[in-house]
Structure 1
Amino acid sequence: MDSPIPQWPKNEQPREKLRLHGARCLTDEELLAIFLRVGIKGKSAVALAKDLLHHFGGLPRLLASSPDEFVRIQGMGISKWAQIQAAYELVKRSLEDTLLQGSIFSDPGHVKEFLQAKIGSLPHEVFLCLYLDSCLHLIECQEIFRGSITKTAVYPREILKEALARNASAIIVAHNHPSGNPLPSAADQELTQTLIQALALVEIPLLDHCIVSKRGFFSFSQSGFIKYDQN
């Protein structure tokens, strides 16, 4: 049987490893075990965390799990699900705060991290608009459309109306591919061109169209499909 964590050598216990070496030195199982706090009879919190990750197929699917899915696992209850979801929400809010405080070009990686955390693991497709001011700081991130697992109906007129209502100087749009493949479809490419043309009529540039999934990220801007001179 797996011995309880307090019986492990001190330097192998997840909390002690975190204290001594930082969070990056811990495995997914060890980080998750810190939230679980205790295991069940015959399994340490680390072993239980490993079982959870195996059951859901990794962290993205675990973080997107519903309470009903989560509590079906032996030893799991609604309180543990709530603790994990609260921590995940704090991460997303922290990333959004970073975008609110600085230009989106100050660290492009923050946009990717924020979008993947916010919508990358969702089982349904959503379409986001990030409205930016004249200094390219985030004004607001809005989920403007939600669709099925295969298709979202996106109306450029609605995006244009919402951008004008917020006095946006530029926007970034993003959506997720629940299938896992982040590459743009022909419809995605057509929509991007339609948005560029529609927004140009009111002098609001489309800076990027990002597609995120559990396994990848695609940027129309980084791939050369959208060109913007930030100077």
Structure 2
Amino acid sequence: MSEHDGHRHRIIEKLDTGVLCEHELLEILLFNALPRRNTNDLAHRLLTAFGSIRGVFSASVEQLKLVDGVGENVAAYLRCIGRFYETYYEADKEAFPRRFDPESFISYINERYARMDREVLDFYLLDERKNIVFCKRFTIDNPQRVVMKPEELTKLILVNKPSGVAVVHNHLSGSCFPSPSDDKTTNQIQLICSIHNVLFCDHYIYSPVGVYSYYRSGRMKEINREFSIGAILKERGGV
């Protein structure tokens, strides 16, 4: 028996004990969809994206396909068997708050991002009541930097149709104050959100010394105004 097969055998044996983490339940479930692949990483990515098992199985096929490693067949598989795991829903612990509140969200950031060992850029999508419905994480193999392409954010908005967006970025060390690159990214996000009539609520930057909020600093209103599609068209004489 290979090491890979041995891991699968051990984790399946744990089903009878009832001592299983959420990602392990999802990992086992994915065995049937991906019989020859390590499903542990994909299970973690799904939980990061949707916050919980409930979120994974409530997501649409198109939303599931936004997660790296999820194709058409896996997305359809997860969507079809979502109801099977309803018994787990009440015990489910959310990975992020159900509702976005600018002040309490900072406490959540301090707790969650303190454990990060690489830079990430997370987009929390909000519905019209400011409930958090989806989290998309951008990261690359280099732990010291993160890249978000404009077309990726555009696709994220078009598929999910959020009313608002809150963004969290982390610095692994040093100050939480934004760098010129952070400012450029913030301006770019605001412009894309403006084009699609999505409210860009805040951009938080976490570092071990604190959390910076563009909104609390007073800069968010200025950015919302200056980098709106209406302001740019007016400046260029388009309206």
TM-score, structure 2 normalization: 0.50
**Paired amino acid for 1:190:** K
Q: Which amino acid aligns with 2:197?
A: E
Structure 2 counterparts to residues 62-73 of structure 1, below 5 A = none
How big is the shift at 1:95?
A: 6.5
* Paired residues for 1:131-150 under 5 Å: 131-146=125-140, 148-150=142-144
The 3-state SS of whatever aligns with 1:198 is helix
Paired residues for 1:9-158 under 5 Å: 93=93, 96=96, 99-100=97-98, 102=99, 104-105=100-101, 108-146=102-140, 148-158=142-152
Deviations 1:134-192 (A, max 9, x none): 11111112223345343211212212211221121110111110013211000100110
1:195 pairs with one of 183, 189, 192: 189
| 1:80-121 per-position Cα deviation (integer Å, ceiling 9, x unaligned) | xxxxxxxxxxxxx5562xx21x3x23xx33211222222233
Map of 1:180 onto structure 2 = 174
Q: Given the superposition, is the C-alpha separation of residues 192 and 174 from structure 1 closer, same or farther in structure 2, using an over 3 Å criterion?
A: same
| 1:174–1:111 Cα change, 3 Å | same
Runs of 4+ in 1 over 6 A off after TM superposition: none
Considering only CA atoms, is the larger Rg found in Structure 1 or Structure 2? 1
Where does the alignment leave 5 or more consecutive residues of structure 2 unmatched?
A: 1-92, 226-239
- 2:161 is equivalent to residue 204 of structure 1: no
Q: Secondary structure of 1:148's match?
A: coil
Q: What residue identity is the alignment partner of 1:181?
A: S
Any conservation in 2 of the 1:127–1:146 contact (CA below 8 Å)?
A: no
- Structure 1 residue matching 2:136: 3-state secondary structure: strand
Structure 1 equivalent of residue 217 of structure 2: 223
- Contact 1:211 / 1:219 at 8 angstroms: preserved in 2? yes
SS at match of 2:220: coil
What do the CA deviations read for 1:11-30 (whole angstroms, capped 9, x no partner)? xxxxxxxxxxxxxxxxxxxx
Seen in structure 2, the aligned counterparts of structure 1 residues 188 and 147 have a Cα distance that, compared at 3 Å, is farther
SS in 2 for 1:172: strand
The count of residues paired between Structure 1 and Structure 2 equals: 131
Q: Is the 8 A contact 1:209 1:219 kept in 2?
A: yes
Checking the alignment, whether the CA contact within 8 Å between 1:172 and 1:206 is kept in structure 2 is: yes
